[in-house]
Amino acid sequence: MRIKQIILPAMCCLPLLSGCTSYQSSSMAAWQIKPVTSIRNSTEEPGAYYQLGRYYQGQNRYEQAALAYRKALAANNNFVEARNGLGVIYSLQGKYAEAIEVLKVAVQQSPKSAHIYNNLGYAYYLQGQNKEAVTALQEAAKLDPGNQRALNNLGLAYAKAGDNADSIVALTKAIKATETVLTAPETASRNASQTPADHSGLSVAASAPQSLALPGGVINRTLAPTIPQVESQVKAVQVAPNVYELHEQHVMSIQSADTRSTSPIKLEIANGNGVTGMAKRVKQFLHGQGYVTERLTNQKPFRVQITQIQYRNGHQLEAQRLQSSLPKQASLVQNDGMHANINVRLVLGRNIAENIAFFDGKQDKIRLAFNER
């Protein structure tokens, strides 16, 4: 009887869980609520597992999140957002082939969902399947023509595939869409006296379903007729519950790139590759460059392939500065569900383990080798 009394209120609280994967305001403190992992059979069981997956995802506990999403699908194989969430988790873990297979099924089940096509295009892009990425992102942009993120992503995918003319066209449309979004707060303020106050967030994207995001193209506001320079780094931006979108980094930072200065990094280093002592070595190396590490953690089961730099909203420049200090490219991932005292989180992947000597005081020699390439 005691167990049932605990489970019922806890289940009622699950929809209120916040962080980077919740529809609710960021003022809701997800870390204050402990999830109930023992879920009894009921008509709401798939939804309960889905909410649990969202909670774990907000805590960066990807294995637990994936398990919860799989249980939701086991209870209801047609639960599209649970399948989308599973694909997102695989992408965040660097399991792009698995993500593609999951998301291909998701778009078959929900062929009108632009955000799922975005996620599929994201996985294709990172897998190096540029043609397939373009096709998926074209469909996302077709389904939602005013979606700046879909257009950003499509522009990057075009450029990666060598289609620079179409890339510029897509990125031009993305900038126009961005300007529309940036003027939205002004319109809202003019109508404030006529409508109730809205404390739910900044943008329309924040209330849409979940997409994964990718930067790389460098766009000038005036759109000079030059070919965008596309890098291979990735920024995964979570904009709503289980909705990530690929978007080009510079476009998304137009509003603040010229005015926001970097602030001290409250850094966490997580060992995601399983190399013994790797996080400590990186901490010592970064300490020599002026970084102060607040936390050292492990991200089990140590299957992270590509190093990630996760950052809170408003700390992108700090993340970029940290990125430039590393010997291997790291993906940039906006994540507002980190530990309360952390604003940047470095998750070490297997790709950076190949350069372990870089963190043992041999960086000068290694840099010279890089410069010769």
Residues 95-129 have pLDDT tens digits of: 999 999 999 999 999 999 998 998 899 889 888 89
According to the model, what pLDDT value does residue 176 have?
77
Residues 79-96 have pLDDT tens digits of: 999 999 999 999 888 899
Pair 214, 234: CB distance under 8 Å: yes
Q: Which residue has the higher pLDDT, 57 or 6?
A: 57
Which phi and psi (to 5°) does residue 150 adopt? -60, -40
According to the model, what pLDDT value does residue 258 have?
33
Average pLDDT across the chain, whole number: 70
Q: Which domains does the chain have, with CATH numbers?
A: 2-182+212-252 (1.25.40.10), 267-371 (3.30.70.2390)
Sorting pLDDT into bands at 50, 70 and 90, what band is 237?
low
Element (H, E) at 108: helix 96-109
According to the model, what pLDDT value does residue 229 have?
38
The two three-digit tokens of residue 66, written as one number: 């994936």
Strand 331-334, strand 308-311: pairing: parallel
Dihedral-angle region of residue 29 (phi above 0 means left; psi in -120 to 50 means alpha; beta otherwise): beta
Report the length, in residues, of the chain.
Answer: 373
Beta bridge partners of 267: 293, 344
Task: Taking residues 168-173, report their average pLDDT.
Answer: 86
Sorting pLDDT into bands at 50, 70 and 90, what band is 361?
low
- Return the closest-CA partner of residue 278 out of 265, 294, 296, 292: 296
Residues 281-340 have pLDDT tens digits of: 888 888 877 788 899 999 888 888 888 999 988 888 888 888 877 776 788 888 888 888
The yes-or-no verdict on residue 373 having pLDDT over 90 is: no
According to the model, what pLDDT value does residue 66 have?
94
Burial degree of 369 (CB within 10 A; 0-12, 13-18, 19+): exposed
